[in-house]
Amino acid sequence: MDAQFWDMKWQKNQIGFHLSAVNPLLVKYFPVLELKEGARIFVPLCGKTLDIHWLLQRGMKVVGVELSQIAVEQLFSELGITPQISQVASNMLCFKAENLNIFVGDIFALSRALLGCVQAIYDRAALVALPPAMRITYAEHLIDISGKVEQLLVTLGYDQSCIAGPPFSVTQQDIQRYYGADYAIMCLDNTSVAGGLKGGVPATESVWLLKPE
């Protein structure tokens, strides 16, 4: 993962990947996770997503990890929350407030002990941000640190030869390769991306439920 690349994006405010509204697929399909109020949900590579606001409003406890400290500072500012900041590892900070913990650093440096117990994962921006060579390592790490909890996964599909990622195109075969040995995989929805990606390349946003086997 190229930390400098993402730091530069946030420093220059080149954050077209940041949605100006809560992802409608989260709103529509979050109930399939059947989480009780107070459940702890992990959002990898979270940025400052408004999805976190939405999850908190529904009584969830949220834990995330993000490379960019700028993104995390903006997240707390936009929530109107002053976090407690602590150094939890040599290369990892934790921004903490009631019902919200965000680790600042490389997800591959996040251990199971630091993450703590979670009941589910919501991955909208992590898998699609990683090039193919890193995805199997990411999936294995995610399974390990979370204890193989269920996932709500959002991906994009498009002709990768038309534009360079990120976000990258992720196919059903890719998901099966990364997660098929540990999860039952169900596609819940396929939706055309309005206006396409980066200049109008046709794309489909898909949402998947991964249930531990």
Cα(first)–Cα(last) distance of the chain, in Å? 29
Confidence check: pLDDT of 180 > 50: yes
Structure-block tokens of residue 180: 């098929």
Sketch the domain layout of the chain as residue ranges. Answer: 1-8+37-118
CATH fold for the domain made of 1-8+37-118:
Rossmann fold (3.40.50)
What is Dmax (Cα atoms) for the chain? 44
Confidence check: pLDDT of 157 > 80: yes
Type of residue at 115: L
pLDDT digits (tens, 9 = 90+) for 104-140: 999 999 999 999 999 999 999 999 999 999 999 999 9
Flag whether 112 is marked binding: no
Flag whether 10 is marked binding: yes
In a 3-state reduction of DSSP, which class is residue 15? coil
Flag whether 177 is marked binding: no
Residues 125 and 47 sit within 8 Å (Cβ to Cβ)? yes
Answer whether the bond into residue 83 is a cis peptide, omega within 30°.
no
How much is the pLDDT for 200?
Answer: 85
Q: Mean per-residue pLDDT for 63-89? A: 94
Flag whether 66 is marked binding: yes
Q: Which residues pair with 34 in a beta bridge?
A: none
Q: How many CA atoms lie within 13 A of 133 on its CB side?
A: 2
pLDDT digits (tens, 9 = 90+) for 2-29: 666 656 665 555 545 546 789 999 999 9
